[in-house]
Every structure is written in structure tokens, then in C-alpha cells.
Amino acid sequence: ESRPAPGGASEQAPTPRLEGTPAGPTRIETLHEVAADENASGAGPSQAPDPSDDGVLTNQERLDSAMEFYQASSDFWDQGDLDNAMGALDKAYSLILQVKQNADPELLQQKEDLRITISRRIVEVYSSRFTVANGNHMAIPLVMNDEVEKALKLFKGPHRKFFLESYRRSGQYRPMILEALREAGLPEELSWLPLIESGYKVRALSRARALGLWQFIASTGYKFGLKRDQWIDERMDPEKATLAAIGYLKELHQIFGEWTTVLAAYNCGERRVLDRIKTQKIQYLDDFWDLYRRLPRETAFYVPKFLAVLHIVNNPEAHGFDLPEVDAPRPVDVVAVDKQIHLKTIAQHLGMSYDLLREMNPELRQYLTPEDPYTLKVPKGKGETLVAKLGDIPAWSPPQPTYVVHQVRKGQTLSGIARRYGTSVQAVMNMNGLRSKNYVKVGWRLKVPTRGGTAAVAAAYSKKGGLTTYRVRKGDSLWKIAKRFSTTTGAIQSVNGLRTTRLQVGQTLKVPAGSRSGSSATVRTYRVKRGDSPYLIARRHRMELSDFLKVNRLTPTSTIYPGQVVKVTAN
């Protein structure tokens, strides 16, 4: 039996709410409860919704709907409404769980991307309910025992060079870290944690794929707000990674309440430490070192190494160290760059070292500013020069291949494919080693040469009559394009007459520009039909889901019913 849209209208509904009457959260009847009521009254089963009805969501519509609820949660969170923010996220997560596992691989990738995005926001909203742990300057107990002595011997012997080089590099970053720790109310000793994590190297990469000054793995970085995409990896940005590390340390202190255990959990994860605590028959907080002996060896020795570092920096002469002068922080100017430019080109226009510019912006993975507006760091005094020259510096253009890859579909011919890409049949045959111009097979992936190498992997934007023309690039999906232009996949499919979500590199799409309704739109009423849901009504009237909920005094968990009158914006 087909199910109605999540949160949508049901035939078994109470009396519709009158227009203008406040609607708080309502109890959602399950299909089993409706069936039970019908059996009790002797009624037959209710009529199942027609699968062709708008009330039955496709997988793509579920993802679009989840994205709308995610955006609504952001609006509620900005307004300080945490309950509705969490309710919208719960609804979003429930929608992506309904995407079938046998769906199109591109849809499944969208599902996983959205799952991570929603999960991160759930943690952020949930964490914002609590007051973080505070500390003071000497909150970490500076003990000396056999394990710490072993770590001291290591730094005095085989790792002495590593320690001294790391100590020298610390000067570039510790002033910034100390300021952030003081503002957060955390122990200042934590500023030495990057010494054993990365040696104060912003591009340090571990065997476990942990990256940056604070050695975040990708998932933990996502959780604490570190962005990672084709162009940037914020785990390598010292300032952003420091704020993320502080967020993680605060959360761990909320869990364990004791800094020595927090350090162990930072190294191996809170789950592993909690599992070890569960197996203990003693109160480990009375003596962390009882827990220490039950942890993995690498994690166990992590805490003594950190304490050994504190012993050395607090009293270097007592441990046979003559500490070198530390590197000074680099003073910088920050400049907003709104186009993609290669760092080498910028360095040439500023008359400075390309290597230095790369070091100052380590999060740039391709040594390019990203597509979105970006704040670039340049040496102090160079900012004004860059601002003055920015208009004259050419934007970066990606190397353009001499062909695109085309997958043959049912009904296509070699001549039709060649004509579509502005090339000849013979050129396609030569590039793919084909012997006959009259035979191609559905599913074949053909390399199609393009004129002058101008393949459509480079994006081409041009606005015409309220529509934006967009040329599909490698790695694009309909969902990503819709998200980039703040529209929906359904709107793009409708404008372009697309029957599926499949795209081809080089394909030109018309994207509705500025399709979301503005605040000045005229409000009118709409009577809910069977199969309707808040998401479907909002999409039909090109409204933000959060705006639709707000204007109707609904919450993300509210249920609407056939015949109910709601407010929408007129188009």
C-alpha cells in the first residue's frame, strides 16, 4: 500500500483547524493506528493514495524535502527557537532514511552528503543548549611518575631534535592559540598539545589520515565545523582548526570532567575511553593511571608525553634543555577575493614569494582561491596593493580537455552524438577505434572530441530573462546545482523538460534565478488536498519551508489535514 507524504494530509483527519487558529505540535497518527480505529468501527480499509499523486514522494523529492527542513532548522536556530530547530532536523533525517538503498548511485551519494550535513547541525544545535566547561591556568595536574619519566627520556634522547624544532615553530601559532583558550576559559597548558600532535606543522598527516595542527580526522572535523571540499580543507587552517579543537575539548570535558582523561579521549576518541571505563570495577577518577593501564599503548603513552612536555617548558634547565628562540607570528592582511585565482598569479602581481603565500594559506588544497568568496591572507602591508590590483588579475581557467565522455542512450546514433557536440562522425570513430559508423551500443562510454578543446567542464554562467544558463561540469549533480542556485531539482527539471536526474558533462541547463519567494509577495489562502504536505505546498508556491511554517504558525512536527486552510504567497 502506498504511503502518504511524511507529515502530509490523511483521509482519517480530525475537524480541520480554522484559518488563523494557532497550531502547536500535533500527534501524528500512524497507519497502524488508523487501521485499528477502522477495524474497531467496522469500517473497511481507507483508500490508498494514488502512486501518481504528488503526495507520494520520489527519492529525489525526499532529498529536496529534507534539504528544505534542514534550511528551516537554520532559520529557527537563528531565531533562538531550539525546539523547532531540532524538530526540523528530526524531520529532515527521517526523510533521508526513506531513500531506498537500491536507488540511483548519485541519489545515494546525495543522501550520504545530506546525512553528514544534518548530523553536524544536530550536534551543533544540541551542544548549544549547554554551558561549556571552564578551567584555569594550572587545571591539568602536573604529576611525575615512571610513565612520565619514560617520556622525558624519549625527549631528552631520540626525540630531542623533534622537540626543539617543534618548540621553535610553536612561536608562530601559540600566541593565537593562547588567546583563543583564554577566551574559552580553558587551561593555557593545552596550547602545547599541537607539539605532540603535529610538531606545530599545519600540513602534518598521520597514518590514520588525521590532518593539520590539531590532527583532525575528516569526520571529527566535519562535526566541529571544519569545511572540506575540492578547493579547501580547513583542518589545515590554524585559526579555524584551533576553534574546532577547543569545541572538541569542551565537549570531552563535559563528558569526563577531568582533563587527563580528556587528553586520552582526544587522542583515541571518547567511545574507546568510555568502553574502557565501563569495564573497570574501581572509580577511575580517583586515579587516572588505573584507567591508563587499560588503554591502547599509543593512547596510554600520549598523556605521559604531554605531561613531559609541560615539565620541560616549565623548567627546561632542570631537564637539560637550552630552549631556542621561537619563530615570530607572521603579521597578515586579509583580502576578500571573489573569483578563482591561482596563488602563483597573485604572488607575481604582489612581487612576493609564491612559497610564502602558500604557507600563509595552507588550507587551499589546489593553491587556488575557491569558487565562492574567500578571505586570502597576504603579508602585512600587501593588502592594499592586492585590493588595488584585484580587478586586473585574471581569473584562473581550468585546463580544458580535448574531449567529453558521452554514455550512449537508447535511440542515439553516432551521427546524432557527433552533431550534438559539434564534431564529425569520423573524429568520434578515430578517437574510440570504431570500425562502423552505423553501430553503437547502449551503455557505451564514448570519448567525443570537442572543437578547440573547449569542453564543457568549465562552468559558463549567463543570466537571461530570470534564468541562469549553466554548463554541467564533471562531478555535478542536479541536487548540487539546485543547492548552489538556491532552487530545487524539480524546478530545474521542469524548466528543462528533464525526465530523470541524470546529467552529461557539457550539457547546458536553464536554472530558475531567484526562484524563492520574497518577503513582499502577496499572501493568499490555500485549501489542503489529500496527499499534501508542508514541503509540497511550499515547493508548489515557491516558498521557503520555514516561511510557510512561520506564516501558518506551524512547527516542523505539525500535521496538516484535507480541507485545512493555510496561507501561501501568490506568484
453, three cell numbers: 578543446
Burial 314-332 (b: 16+ CB within 10 A, else e): eeeeeeebeeeebeeeeeb
- Do β-strands 374-379 and 565-569 pair in parallel, antiparallel, or remain unpaired? unpaired
Catalytic residue among 61, 197, 234, 363: 197
190, three cell numbers: 593545552
Q: How far apart are CA 90 and CA 110, in angstroms?
A: 18
Active-site annotation holds for 197? yes
- Sign of torsion, CA 82 84 87 91? negative
DSSP 3-state of 470: strand
8-state DSSP, 352: S
Q: How far apart are CA 217 and CA 235, in angstroms?
A: 8
CA distances from 463 to 77, 117, 467, 478 (A): 33, 30, 6, 19
Give yes or no for a contact between 182 and 193, defined as CB atoms under 8 angstroms apart.
no
Residue with cell 494530509: 9
213, three cell numbers: 595542527
Question: Which uninterrupted H or E stretch holds 511?
Answer: strand 508-512
Largest CA distance in the chain: 90
Instruction: Report the interhelical angle of 105-127 vs 82-96 (nearest 10°).
Output: 160
Q: How far apart are CA 120 and CA 393, in angstroms?
A: 37
- Return the active site residues: 197
